[in-house]
Amino acid sequence: MAALDRAAAATVVAGVSGSVAPARAASRDFQPAYLRLVEAGLLDERIEAIAAHYDQCGLCPHQCGVNRNDRETGLCGASARAQVYSHAPHFGEEIPLVGRRGSGTIFFSHCNLRCVFCQNWPVAHAGRGRAASDRQLADRMIDLQRRGCHNINFVTPTHVLPNIAWALGIAVRRGLRLPLVYNTSGYERVEMIRLLDGIIDIYLPDLKFMDGSQSERLAMERAGDYPAMAQAAILEMHRQVGKLVTDERGNALRGLMIRHLVMPNRVAGTREFVAWVAENLPLDTYVNIMPQWRVEHRAFEHEDIARGITVGEFLEAMDWARKAGLSNLDERAVSAEKVYRQRLGS
């Protein structure tokens, strides 16, 4: 089979949509989760509970135990001051996040998973970006709201959760009213996700690997427990926010959206991924089976992933998803699938 061409993979065919209509809510009735915590007088308490983790860092499954308030760093390489690479309206995220005016992304430097095939490696691995105080982080959130973004999308947030929490406290007092998106690799401690209950509106986790030997080999050292950690975290995310709910224009307000990148030679365990979703979550959970694999960073050092994915590999992934009964597949993935099937005449 021919290697996937990226432009075609990103093609959206007008009129093609996911298989089910998402749950709708009126935008005028929407209130982000954190405002309810404010009304209940609980936000400050929650912020302090999250912030306490910098003294002996256990924010993620690595549980390094370093005192980041005392300038120690753990495996992620991050200090107690968040580093931000960029903040801007982003139009490459899933359509319910992008809407007409973009998803308000804040890209954090460093990462606690650091896959060898990372497409963001200068930021996630090399730590490119600038330090931002919590006040400056709040400024960026307010700026994205002022620019009309539909949400605040924290990209790779796990290792800087205390900064996000402090900045949120400031931004709420300054009028922040947008839903918050937690855009994560999935390498999370369920205990930390529980602390986000009532703060995060939309969870956007990856589920990258279903086999710990693959995450051990292709992500950061000691990440062999990735599948178990990510699966437990996703179940907790779903418990908190449920299925995706959009407003009358299709913009996401609340819910779980799962991403899974198809890799060459079935390395990502896509068949096991769709089976796990089907067995553990509602069949209409929003799932994005992504075809945009690229041989990035150090992927070329691993023979089995040192090539693009084939059309056949992407189409078999979509077939598995449908056979498993998944009915709320990402619109762009469905469109890419249609394009490839048309080309193949199947």
Binding positions for ligand SF4, rule: CB under 6 A: 57-60, 62-64, 66, 74-76, 78, 112, 159
Beta bridge partners of 310: 3
Please identify which residue in the block is written with the tokens 């256990």: 58
Least distance from C-beta 110 to ligand SF4, angstroms? Answer: 8
Contact 89, 99 (CB under 8 A): no
Which is nearer to ligand SF4, 97 or 233 (by Cβ)?
233
Least distance from C-beta 81 to ligand SF4, angstroms? Answer: 13
Least distance from C-beta 37 to ligand SF4, angstroms? Answer: 23
Residue 76 DSSP code: T
Least distance from C-beta 210 to ligand SF4, angstroms? Answer: 22
* Token digits of residue 329: 């597949």
Which is nearer to ligand SF4, 57 or 252 (by Cβ)?
57
Please identify which residue in the block is written with the tokens 């991403």: 259
Bin 222: left if φ > 0, else alpha if -120 < ψ < 50, else beta.
left
Dihedrals φ, ψ of 319, to 5°? -60, -45
Contact 248, 297 (CB under 8 A): no
Residue 124 DSSP code: H
Which is nearer to ligand SF4, 58 or 269 (by Cβ)?
58
d(CA 291, CA 10): 8
Which is nearer to ligand SF4, 63 or 69 (by Cβ)?
63
Least distance from C-beta 133 to ligand SF4, angstroms? Answer: 19
Contact 337, 318 (CB under 8 A): yes
Question: What is the gyration radius of the CA atoms in the chain, in angstroms?
Answer: 19
Least distance from C-beta 115 to ligand SF4, angstroms? Answer: 14
d(CA 242, CA 237): 8
Which is nearer to ligand SF4, 160 or 278 (by Cβ)?
160
Helices and strands, number each (H, E), in the chain: 13, 10
Contact 200, 32 (CB under 8 A): no
Least distance from C-beta 309 to ligand SF4, angstroms? Answer: 30
Which is nearer to ligand SF4, 64 or 245 (by Cβ)?
64
Which is nearer to ligand SF4, 74 or 102 (by Cβ)?
74
Which is nearer to ligand SF4, 75 or 123 (by Cβ)?
75
Least distance from C-beta 51 to ligand SF4, angstroms? Answer: 13
What does DSSP say about strands 252-261 and 202-205: parallel, antiparallel, or unpaired? parallel
CA dihedral angle for residue 156, residue 169, residue 87, residue 109, rounded to 10 degrees: -40
Taking CB positions, which residue lies at the least distance from ligand SF4?
A: 74
